[in-house]
Amino acid sequence: MRNRDGSSAAAVIGSIAGRVIVSAVMVLVIFVAVRYSFTFGKAVFYQAPVEKAPGRDIEIEVTEGMGNKAVAEALYDAKAIRNDTAFSVMERVYKAKLFPGIYTVNTSSTSKEILLSLMEQSAVLKEEADSVTVDEDAGIVDAGGEADHEQDK
């Protein structure tokens, strides 16, 4: 049977079915994306500590050139945070730049508390490093900011 425009009923039904299937797939993709986005947002903004207080102190080492993702992975591997990707995003949001050194964090802290603690510890490490002066001629290091010179006797 042909319609007024010359198309068959099967072609019309097939066209409608195709549109329904495409629409259903689009709705499913949007649903999955919204659900993932909600879960990820919750991990970033409403994080829970890994352990209840008092928790455990964990030390991690940040080396020269270690990026945000590597720091987040080190914390995740040490079981200090629950989600390394969310922590890495938080580091970018807070524009965290960590100075190389040994850092101590507690597992009863949230990811945000850990990040703020790392930033505070980094500032202290940077100040300590900036206050150290090296006199290469005499080979003397002084943490007070001035190099001591060996005097010839």
What is the band of 112 on the pLDDT scale with cuts at 50, 70, 90?
Answer: very high
| 74 shares a domain with 32 | no
| Chain segment 126-138, per-residue pLDDT in tens | 888 888 766 566 5
Is the residue at 72 inside a domain?
A: yes
Statement to judge: residues 73 and 101 lie in one domain: yes
The answer on 115 and 69 residing in a single domain is yes
- For residues 6 and 72, state if they share a domain: no
The SS3 call for residue 139 is: coil
Is residue 22 packed enough to be buried (19+ CB in 10 Å), middle (13-18) or exposed (0-12)? Answer: exposed
Residue 153 has pLDDT above 70, yes or no: no
pLDDT band of 4, cuts 50, 70, 90: low
Q: Is 150 a member of any domain? A: no
Distance CA 105, CA 103 (A): 7
Q: Which residues contact 99 (CB under 8 A, 6 or more apart)?
A: 62, 122, 123, 125, 126, 129
Is the Cα torsion angle 36, 40, 46, 47 positive or negative in sign? positive
75 and 110 share a domain? yes
Which residues have a Cβ under 8 Å from the Cβ of 64 and sit 6 or more positions away? 100
Q: Do residue 65 and residue 110 come from a single domain?
A: yes
Total domain count for the chain?
2
Q: Which range of residues forms the domain containing residue 103?
A: 57-132
* Least-confidence region, from 38-47, 64-73, 139-148: 139-148
- Give the model confidence (pLDDT) of 13-28 as tens digits: 888 988 999 999 999 9
